[in-house]
Amino acid sequence: MKHATAFSWLAMLALALAGLAACGRGTGTLVPNAAPAALAHPAAAATLTPPPKLLYADHNGTLYQYRLPLSSASRPQRALQEDPNAAFPPQIAVNAFGTIAIVTASEIRIFKPPIVSLARTKAHKIVPLTPAMTEIGPSGADVIDAEYDPRGNLWLFSGLGGEISELRAPISRTTVAAVVIPFGAPGTKTASYGVIQGRFDVNSTLYAYGQSATSASLFKTSFPYAKSMSPLDGLNIAQAAFVDSSQFLPTAPDPVSVIVGQYFGRLSSPPPQQPPPQPSNVLAQFSLPLMPVLGLFPNAVVNEVVGAVAADPPAGAFFTLDAGNGHLAVYPLPLHAHDKPKLTLRCLAGGKNCNGKHLFLAP
């Protein structure tokens, strides 16, 4: 689950992320008569969504609900058990209107706001997972991430067989996958990669983070979804949040399009006749559009390792969960070199449970 997610607050006609790599050719299930451009249907992305008032931090199966804006005195309003008594935490997704989807190995549980409990008996709707939605193994579905896109459709990322499937809203017991994209299939650009997580930009363009035995990379496909995914010039950035300049308030002093996430790679080109520098593992921001000819280097970094990122462009801020201690931090958006967090709150989950991997904003 991993966007994250990123939600589009006040999303208007968004600028295309024009410098990103184009999609390749391959196999998969395609929307009939699909147009190739990310902005083929821009009006669908122009739906106004309410500004965020809540922040959800996911810590190893417990979802902590905070009221925004955060302050040094902020404490969770609620601690919600995502799947009580389960051996492993489920996957979780939150859409732009605060609906929560809990995805276990056997079913999807939909909860409508206001959220007061994630007990199965409190679910608005329970939909069994089927082979028509995602691959099912002897122990059920191996869903390793779940994400809502800005249009409210739920996406399942399956480690079993490596596939990404779209479940169109509204989800019901008769739902089947509208789109299935193979990931890691031989002969495609994702060959040898396993899908780890997915994210969406304001135009519902899908980005999947994949890992192989020797490398990791971000892969892109445009809406309506192409048959295969193309690597984003080998960019190794996880927990990514995609921010479009149109998402900032009109009064914002520096409305820029950026990617923010955990980056593993070089920070600069080596001097002439010198060996390349060792890769760094840092929280990083990349300006868009990317300029591969100039080198894919971040324009701002912070020496942190985070397990989750969520961006709130109208507030000029983004939130992170530290991968080690689970601390919740607030950084300025856009990020500038060596920026410090504006606020840091310690993890209340305790010990090994502070390894959160998701942050969500909700109205």
> Residue 233's pLDDT is what?
81
| Tens-digit pLDDT profile for residues 293-308 | 767 899 999 999 999 9
> Residue 355's pLDDT is what?
82
| Tens-digit pLDDT profile for residues 186-215 | 888 999 999 999 999 999 999 999 999 999
| Tens-digit pLDDT profile for residues 184-194 | 988 889 999 99
Q: Does domain 48-362 have CATH number 2.40.110.10?
A: no
Chain mean pLDDT for the chain: 86
| Tens-digit pLDDT profile for residues 227-283 | 778 898 889 999 999 999 999 999 999 999 999 999 999 998 888 888 888 999 999
* Structural contact between residues 207 and 240, judged by C-beta atoms closer than 8 angstroms: yes
> Residue 36's pLDDT is what?
30
Block residue for tokens 């410090």 = 340
> CA-to-CA distance for 341 and 1, rounded, in angstroms?
24
Q: Which band of pLDDT confidence, cut at 50, 70 and 90, is reported for residue 226? A: confident
Block residue for tokens 């299935």 = 180
Confidence check: pLDDT of 33 > 80: no
Block residue for tokens 């905070």 = 66
> Residue 1's pLDDT is what?
45
* Structural contact between residues 101 and 109, judged by C-beta atoms closer than 8 angstroms: yes
Q: Where are the domains of the chain?
A: 48-362
> Residue 39's pLDDT is what?
30
**DSSP state string for 80-147:** EESSTT-SS--EEEE-TTS-EEEE-SSEEEEEPSSP----GGG-SEEEE--TTTS--BTTB--EEEEE
* Structural contact between residues 360 and 1, judged by C-beta atoms closer than 8 angstroms: no
For residue 213, give the amino acid letter. A
Q: Which of 220, 226, 293, 218 is nearest to 260 (CA)?
A: 218
For residue 80, give the amino acid letter. L
| Tens-digit pLDDT profile for residues 131-177 | 999 999 999 999 999 999 999 999 999 999 899 999 999 999 999 99
> Residue 48's pLDDT is what?
61
* Structural contact between residues 147 and 199, judged by C-beta atoms closer than 8 angstroms: yes
Sign of CA dihedral 255, 19, 243, 7: positive
Confidence check: pLDDT of 285 > 90: yes
